[in-house]
Structure 1
Amino acid sequence: MTPVEAAPRCTTTRPLTGKGQVPLDAVFPGAETSASSDPEEVVPGADAADRARCPGELPSEPRCDGLVPWTGLLPDELVPASRARRVVQGYLLTMPKQAGNQAPPESSAGTKVVTFSLVDLAAGDPAGLTGYLRVAFEACAKATSSTVAGVAALVGTVPSEYGAGSAEVVLLRRGSHVVWASLDGSGWKAGEQRQALVVLVGRLL
């Protein structure tokens, strides 16, 4: 009988260690009702160095009809494609109290949502992820250069998924850490989005 080769172990998903925890009450202080995710991290698996068994590459161009960051890749696909050392994803959501049953976040006028991803790049960024992300943010979100909490950033907008008309998307890099985030919803007051980004910079970069 021909032996059956075991499936390659290209990635491993595990509980978060190190950078990546973002306190909900820091982003949404005094929120009436809130929800948050417990982010996990995806890291290279035991066979990741074997490119024949664990192939992957970034798309040739951004897929602007998809979701940020327009790669069309799930985290366990992004790790081999980008040669990253780690990928973390998380989200934070708050909405006001509703009379009776809670309305879905998508229809609540006071919803605020932050989704974020953190990538720890391999030395030298061998797959060129940062270059891909810059092109994608400029093409898909019409992003322009800015500064957030002293960190160079690209800031643009995409259609809202929470009834706000548009959502702000941000790309940040410091050293080997790359972060992209989306701030959506119609409940934001003046200055709150900027403060949320300051928290992300402090916790993720």
Structure 2
Amino acid sequence: MPLDAVFPGAETSATSDPKETVPGPDAADRTRCPGQLPSGPHCDGLVPWTDLLPDAFVPASGARRLVGGYLLTMPKQAGNQAPPESSAGTKVVTFTLVDLAAGDPGGLVDYLDVAFRACARATPSTVAGVGALVGTVRSEYGAGSAEVVLLRRGTHLVWAALDGSGWEPGEQQRALAVLVARLL
């Protein structure tokens, strides 16, 4: 994800190198690599509310690939070494791309639909021309709430959280448009 496309002109910023998780050689053999998504979402956890680490999530969901990362920007504050989560004006985009296996054998689409509606009170919407579920969760960066979005196009799913208190009008829509253009 290009930081400049999401946060043009950012003074102080950081990105993560996207972390990719793919199924191991035994992932298709359920006797050697068991796992499944929980029967219901764990709404007290983080998106996607499974409480599974990526290495367990990939075989449980039947995903072919999972890629996650983040982009962060905060106002330039001379001499201030405050952590981003306590800095006013911080903006953060966390994202996860999932490539689904044909037929969605792990039932991930249905699981995420239930989880987003239950845990984020998400409702159907359109984001950058793509059908989406959009809801809110508690902010991790002092903003009160963060917007969470689930997007799907074909065998690609993307969920993202837009958090922080420094968003100007239109910036979240631009960030989501970049996600759609780059990840779907």
TM-score (ref. length: structure 1): 0.88
Q: 1:114 aligns with which of 93, 102, 106?
A: 93
Q: How many Å apart are 1:98 and its aligned residue?
A: 1.1
Q: How many Å apart are 1:40 and its aligned residue?
A: 2.0
SS of equivalent to 1:135: helix
Q: Does 1:196 align with 2:175?
A: yes
Q: 2:25 aligns with which of 30, 43, 46?
A: 46
Structure 2 CA distance for aligned equivalents of residues 101 and 159 of structure 1: 25
Structure 2 CA distance for aligned equivalents of residues 114 and 33 of structure 1: 15
Structure 1 CA distance for aligned equivalents of residues 66 and 128 of structure 2: 22
Structure 2 CA distance for aligned equivalents of residues 202 and 183 of structure 1: 17
Q: 1:162 aligns with which of 111, 119, 141?
A: 141
Q: How many Å apart are 1:52 and its aligned residue?
A: 0.8
Q: 1:186 aligns with which of 153, 162, 165?
A: 165
Q: Match of 1:86?
A: 65
Q: How many Å apart are 1:31 and its aligned residue?
A: 0.2
Q: Does 1:74 align with 2:74?
A: no
Structure 2 unaligned spans of 5+: none
Q: Match of 1:36?
A: 15
SS of equivalent to 2:22: strand
State the identity %: 82
Structure 1 CA distance for aligned equivalents of residues 19 and 142 of structure 2: 28
Structure 1 CA distance for aligned equivalents of residues 129 and 162 of structure 2: 19
Q: Match of 1:142?
A: 121
Structure 2 CA distance for aligned equivalents of residues 180 and 159 of structure 1: 16
Structure 2 CA distance for aligned equivalents of residues 144 and 39 of structure 1: 28
SS of equivalent to 1:115: strand
Structure 1 unaligned spans of 5+: 1-21
Structure 1 CA distance for aligned equivalents of residues 61 and 146 of structure 2: 26
Q: Does 1:153 align with 2:153?
A: no
Query: Moved runs in structure 1, 4+ residues, more than 3 A?
Result: none
How many pairs are equivalent? 184
TM-score (ref. length: structure 2): 0.98
- Residue range with higher mean Cα deviation, 174-183 or 103-112: 103-112
Q: How many Å apart are 1:49 and its aligned residue?
A: 2.0
Structure 2 CA distance for aligned equivalents of residues 110 and 118 of structure 1: 26
Structure 2 CA distance for aligned equivalents of residues 126 and 85 of structure 1: 11
- Amino acid of the structure 1 residue aligned with 2:36: E
Give the structure with higher Rg (CA).
Answer: 1
Structural RMSD (CA): 0.7
